[in-house]
């Protein structure tokens, strides 16, 4: 079978997401990245699950580099401050309080939007960078990812920090600089703002689900989010055959294509638990993920033509 080409632009950004954790998102993202590289497209696998990134356990980058992710934090000059409260009123996140003759800044609530700086007439507010995480990147193992190769980029939130979207944006920016033909975004689970930051402007979202009642419920939420964002979706049913849940019926009734089914197979779980690549270590793995990669490209062509 002739492999399906990339869209005419020669580039494709695929977000791999799920309505809930534990559905097999990392399994799909890592193996899909490998298929893209082996199919001749330089790839960037971007781990946007910044609270608990683990793509690099399966595809460790060679000679990785890292840079901090920082967000601006307002600093008040008490001598210049006239306690007018304008900064507090301008802050949509409740990160500032005027209390006891001083302005208090709550760093964990601050989104670094700069609104307070712009409304402070006496210019009593400056901004200082505050580290919230890091981005690490490096080349994919050359032997594993030939012929096209690529990179693994990991967004990692510092312990105790909550600015996940900032780390995700930095990881995606780093991947853009690497200029891959294919970008695979491994999104955080759920439908909160961090998931939105990860899937925004993707060409297609691959939603990984499992045939359970919880899987179906969270799939519905994820499809709804993707529709609100105007990004086309396709579904991967992982652990197919483990139960009956109505996932297939839901996809059919909503016109959501099922791109692949990965069977409920003890060996898949064992390979994954050992940090292995199912595409290489399971006798059927390469066929599953080659077919999935082709189905993703076909879906991308459908929606872009």
Q: Is 160 exposed, middle or buried (0-12, 13-18, 19+ CB in 10 A)?
A: exposed
* Residue 166 lies near ligand SF4 (rule: CB under 6 A): no
Answer yes or no: are the C-beta atoms of 180 and 6 closer than 8 Å: no
Instruction: Mark 171-210 with x for binding to ligand SF4 (rule: CB under 6 A) and - for no binding.
Output: ----------------------------------------
Nearer to ligand SF4, 104 or 142 (CB): 104
Quick one: which of 22, 114, 241, 243 contacts ligand SF4 (CB under 6 A)?
A: 114
Among 15, 43, 56, 125, binds ligand SF4 (CB under 6 A): 125
Q: Which of 5, 60, 64, 81 binds ligand SF4 (CB under 6 A)?
A: 81
Q: Tell which one of 6, 110, 225, 295 touches ligand SF4 (CB under 6 A).
A: 110
Neighbouring C-beta atoms of residue 143, cutoff 10 Å: 6
Residue of the chain from 82, 142, 177, 287 that contacts ligand SF4 (CB under 6 A): 82
Residue 301 CB: number of other CB atoms within 10 A?
15
Q: Closest by alpha carbon to 127, among 93, 97, 87?
A: 87
* 151: CB partners within 8 A, 6+ apart: 43, 44, 45, 61, 137, 138, 139, 140, 175, 178, 180
x/- contact string, 269-288, with ligand SF4 (CB under 6 A)? --------------------
Query: DSSP characters for 13-67?
Result: EEEEE-SSTTSSHHHHHHHHHHHHHHTT--EEEEE--TTS--HHHHSPPEEEEEE
Whole-number minimum distance, CB 85 to ligand SF4, in Å? 5
According to the binding rule CB under 6 A, does residue 71 interact with ligand SF4? no
Q: Is 95 in the site for ligand SF4 (CB under 6 A)?
A: yes
CB of 70 to ligand SF4, least distance (A): 13
Quick one: residue 131, left, alpha or beta (phi over 0 = left, psi -120 to 50 = alpha)? Answer: beta
Which of 12, 36, 91, 279 is in the footprint of ligand SF4 by CB under 6 A?
A: 91
Instruction: Give the H or E element holding residue 176.
Output: helix 164-177
Q: How many residues bind ligand SF4 (CB under 6 A)?
A: 28
Among 28, 29, 48, 103, the residue binding ligand SF4 under the rule CB under 6 A is: 103
- 29 touches ligand SF4 (CB under 6 A): no
The radius of gyration computed from the CA coordinates of the chain, to the nearest angstrom, equals: 22
98: left (phi over 0), alpha (psi -120 to 50) or beta: beta
111, 130, 200, 217: residue in contact with ligand SF4 (rule CB under 6 A): 111
Question: Which is closer to ligand SF4, CB of 165 or CB of 180?
Answer: 165
State the minimum distance, in angstroms, from the CB of residue 191 to ligand SF4. Answer: 23
256's tokens? 């959501």
Which tokens sit at 7? Answer: 């869209």
Tokens in use for 274?
Answer: 């050992």
Question: For binding to ligand SF4 (CB under 6 A), which residues are involved?
Answer: 74, 76, 81-87, 90-91, 93, 95-96, 98, 103, 110-116, 119-120, 122, 124-125
């Amino acid at each position: 079978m002739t492999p399906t080409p990339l869209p005419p632009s020669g580039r494709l950004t695929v977000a791999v997401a799920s309505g809930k954790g534990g559905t097999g998102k990392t399994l799909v993202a890592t193996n899909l990245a490998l298929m893209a590289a082996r199919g001749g497209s330089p790839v960037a696998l971007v781990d946007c699950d910044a609270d608990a990134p683990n793509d690099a356990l399966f595809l460790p980058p060679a000679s990785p580099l890292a840079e901090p992710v920082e967000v601006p934090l307002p600093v008040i000059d008490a001598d210049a401050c006239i306690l007018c409260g304008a900064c507090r009123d301008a802050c949509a996140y409740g990160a500032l309080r005027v209390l006891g003759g001083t302005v208090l800044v709550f760093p964990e609530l601050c989104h670094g939007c700069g609104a307070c700086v712009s409304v402070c007439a006496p210019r009593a507010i400056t901004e200082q960078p505050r580290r919230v995480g890091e981005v690490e990147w490096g080349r994919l193992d050359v032997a594993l990812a030939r012929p096209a190769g690529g990179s693994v980029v990991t967004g990692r939130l510092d312990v105790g920090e909550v600015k996940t979207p900032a780390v995700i944006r930095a990881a995606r920016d780093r991947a853009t600089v690497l200029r891959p033909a294919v970008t695979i975004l491994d999104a955080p689970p759920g439908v909160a703002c961090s998931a939105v930051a990860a899937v925004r402007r993707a060409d297609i979202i691959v939603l990984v689900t499992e045939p359970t009642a919880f899987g179906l419920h969270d799939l519905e939420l994820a499809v709804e989010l993707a529709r609100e964002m105007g990004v086309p979706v396709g579904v991967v049913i992982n652990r197919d055959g483990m139960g009956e849940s109505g996932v297939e019926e839901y996809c059919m009734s909503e016109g959501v294509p099922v791109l692949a089914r990965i069977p409920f197979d003890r060996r898949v779980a064992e390979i994954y638990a050992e940090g292995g690549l199912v595409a290489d270590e399971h006798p059927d793995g390469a066929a599953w993920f080659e077919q999935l990669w082709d189905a993703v490209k076909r879906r991308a062509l459908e929606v872009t033509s």
